[in-house]
């Protein structure tokens, strides 16, 4: 039985195919959909990654191209070999708390959630609908970024707004990157050989979120009603004083301000260099790089420290995952330097090598670097869902 996992971003489509034993046999990534520099990256099991330029206008075309590559590259002879499909859906609102089999009613409810994640859910949904037509024989499931955070207590998810806004309009903290945080927690538990360790997981990629995990459950997280809240990110501002928005709207239209906060801020805006952390590291002494790294590392370290409260003390481990979290040793070092007063001691050599454990033996908190395996975790979730 083959399991296909689809992860549609606002301008990208990632997909991976797993066999019955959940071994990944193929991985593809179509990036910059609708742009001149659109390209496709693929890798076979245990093979190197290859990149080819391509021209793809939208997510429907991306899906057709990706499924075509699965057949052209000899991974499957017929799409009917794919028995289950897991679709990443960013926002599940309050209605969806676990992987859910797709039917007409579910599709209708998902469409109603587009307003909560306008940059992500529409592309998630269009890819899902296209896949239902391409592989009608498979069982399709939606796996929600927000689902892992449904264990948040009210004191963590409510905002200081009129309570009626929560009851009538669902305005609350939802949290995101749930599959990444849940997968990182599971991997950390195995590494620590402890059933339910106390953890702070740090998903640091183009999007950034932190999560406090106790007894295997999310009890606090940094992203909120939308993925804009929390530390600054590649192009997102992260948390700011809301009054700044009203100030900016005196001279700019609301749509322009929203675009600025989502696409022109964060690493890109503060550095004046770019949103890709590698472009900043290429200029380590540039004022923009120094400024951005200092602000970002301080924001993340401050959040980590704040999570000692809900966890009831120091965590067993801090986990770094996702592209930047797994590779940017210089940022991990800068973040961990702020935590020295709490007895955290970093092993500099291990950190530079991106080792699994990068803290010293005598450190009061273990620091782990674990690869993000969102696709595999999603496949695992729907495999265990059976036919439900």
CA 292 and chain centroid, separation = 21
Distance (Å, whole) CA 358 – CA 368: 6
Contact by Cβ (8 Å): 18, 376:
yes
Active site residue 145: yes
How is residue 146 written in tokens? 């927000």
Maximal C-alpha separation, the chain? 58
Question: What share of residues in the chain are helix, strand, coil (percent, to 5)?
Answer: 40, 20, 40
Around Cβ 92, how many Cβ atoms within 10 Å? 26
Contact by Cβ (8 Å): 271, 283:
no
Contact by Cβ (8 Å): 34, 40:
no
Distance (Å, whole) CA 37 – CA 195: 45
Alpha-helix residue ranges (DSSP H) falling in the chain: 59-72, 104-111, 121-134, 154-157, 163-169, 178-192, 243-248, 254-263, 266-271, 277-281, 287-306, 308-311, 322-327, 329-337, 348-352, 374-383
- What are the Cα distances from residue 40, in Å, to 65, 130, 251? 10, 19, 40
* Phi, psi (degrees; rounded to nearest 5) at 274: 170, 170
Active-site entry in 31, 145, 220, 316: 145
Contact by Cβ (8 Å): 317, 186:
no
- For the sheet with 50-53, list strands across it: 50-53, 39-44, 24-31, 13-18, 2-8, 82-89, 139-144, 100-101
How is residue 258 written in tokens? 């929203």
Positions marked active-site: 145
């Amino acid at each position: 039985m083959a399991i296909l996992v689809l992860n549609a971003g606002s301008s990208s489509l990632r997909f991976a195919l797993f066999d019955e034993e959940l071994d990944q046999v193929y991985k593809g990534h179509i990036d910059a959909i609708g742009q001149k520099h659109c390209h496709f990256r693929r890798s076979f099991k245990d093979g190197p990654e290859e990149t080819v330029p391509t021209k793809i206008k939208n997510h429907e075309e991306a899906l057709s191209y990706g499924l075509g590559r699965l057949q052209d590259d000899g991974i499957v002879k017929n799409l009917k070999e794919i028995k289950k499909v897991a679709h990443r859906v960013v926002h599940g609102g309050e209605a969806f708390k676990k992987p859910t089999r797709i039917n007409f009613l579910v599709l209708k409810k998902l469409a109603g959630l587009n307003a909560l994640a306008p940059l992500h859910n529409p592309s998630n949904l269009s890819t899902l609908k296209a896949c239902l037509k391409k592989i009608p024989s498979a069982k399709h499931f939606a796996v929600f970024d927000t689902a892992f955070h449904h264990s948040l207590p009210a004191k963590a998810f409510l905002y200081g707004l009129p309570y009626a806004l929560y009851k009538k309009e669902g305005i609350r903290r939802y949290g995101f990157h749930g599959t990444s945080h849940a997968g990182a927690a599971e991997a950390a538990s195995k590494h620590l050989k402890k059933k339910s360790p106390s953890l702070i997981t740090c998903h640091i990629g183009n999007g950034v979120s932190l999560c406090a995990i106790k007894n295997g459950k999310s009890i606090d997280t940094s992203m909120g009603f939308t993925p804009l809240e929390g530390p600054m990110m590649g192009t997102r501002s992260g948390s700011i004083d809301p009054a700044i928005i009203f100030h900016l709207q005196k001279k700019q239209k609301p749509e322009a301000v929203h675009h600025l906060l989502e696409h022109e801020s964060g690493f890109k805006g503060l550095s004046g260099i770019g949103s890709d952390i590698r472009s900043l590291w290429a200029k380590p002494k540039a004022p923009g790089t120094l400024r951005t790294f200092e602000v970002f590392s301080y924001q993340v370290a401050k959040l980590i420290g704040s999570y000692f409260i809900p966890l009831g003390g120091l965590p067993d481990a801090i986990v770094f995952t996702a592209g930047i979290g797994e590779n940017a040793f210089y940022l991990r070092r800068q973040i961990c330097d702020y935590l020295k007063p709490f007895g955290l001691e970093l092993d500099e050599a291990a950190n530079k090598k991106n080792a699994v454990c990068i803290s010293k033996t005598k450190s009061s908190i273990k620091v782990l670097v674990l690869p993000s395996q969102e696709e595999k975790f999603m496949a695992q979730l729907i495999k265990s869902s059976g036919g439900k």
